[in-house]
Amino acid sequence: MTILLILVFAIFVNNIVLSQFLGICPFLGVSKQVNTAVGMSLAVTFVMALATCVTWMLQNYVLVPLNMVYMQTVTFILVIAGLVQMVEIILKKISPALYQSLGIFLPLITTNCAVLGVALMVVQKQFTFGGETGMLNLGESVVFAIASAIGFGLAITLFAAIREQLETSNVPKPFKGIPIALITAGIMALAFMGFSGMV
């Protein structure tokens, strides 16, 4: 039950792109075509789940016992950067086909603030699900990360589909490019606001 609540919460109610403003750069950058958007969101899901798992353990088994929580930002970003590099190398060896399709997105993920954002969120914030307030445990954190990544994927894929249509439409000159994309995103965010209060 809790897991279901976390899924709904992170995918719809608190969509990471449209209500938390994380991962806007790839959201605007790689959303010109549906194909690349799907590839990017798969790569993000993979890295986000892995990174959150590792950083959660690091936080609770290393940083907290050693009283070094102030090193959080430094260690987390290094872990994420290392992890992305590792995933890239492993993927290249094990599954060249998958590497072909995800490869170009992987280096971009290090600077995707959504990954670091979610890793920090699960160890810092208190969440309330089904009347219980508290920190997430390891399993719930990973579910939260995967759900956030699905939310990211949903937003970016829908957005890419809309932008493919926008390409052919007649947009006033000052609005061409980023401005009209931002306004589209604003309207999507309005639609997602309808989910608020569900959990």
Partner 1 sequence: MLVLGMCPTLGTTTSALNGMGMGLATLVVLTLSNIVISAVARFIPDKVRIPSYIVIISAFVTIIQLLMQAFLPSLYETLGLFIPLIVVNCIVLGRAEAFANKNTVLDSACDGLGIGLGFTLSLTVIGLVREILGSGSFFGWNFLQGDGILVFVLAPGAFLVLGLLMALFNKLTQGRA
Residues found near partner 1 in the complex (CB under 8 A): 18-25, 28, 70-74, 77-78, 81, 110-113, 116-117, 120-121, 124, 172-176, 178-183, 185-187, 189-190, 192-193
In the complex, least distance from residue 3 CB atom to partner 1, rounded to whole angstroms: 23
Q: How far apart are CA 99 and CA 107, in angstroms?
A: 12
CB of 91 to partner 1, least distance (A): 20
C-alpha span between 31 and 6 (Å, rounded): 26
Crossing angle, helix 113-124 and helix 72-94, to 10 degrees? 130
Cβ 10 to partner 1, closest distance in Å? 15
Tell me the two tokens of residue 12. 């719809």
Between 13 and 49, CB nearer to partner 1: 13
Give, in degrees to the nearest 5, the angle at Cα 110 between 62 and 74. 35
Q: Bridge-partner residues for 129, per DSSP?
A: 132
Q: Provide the minimum distance between the beta carbon of 192 and partner 1 in the complex, in angstroms, as a whole number.
A: 8
Cα angle 153, 138, 109 (rounded to 5 degrees) comes to: 35
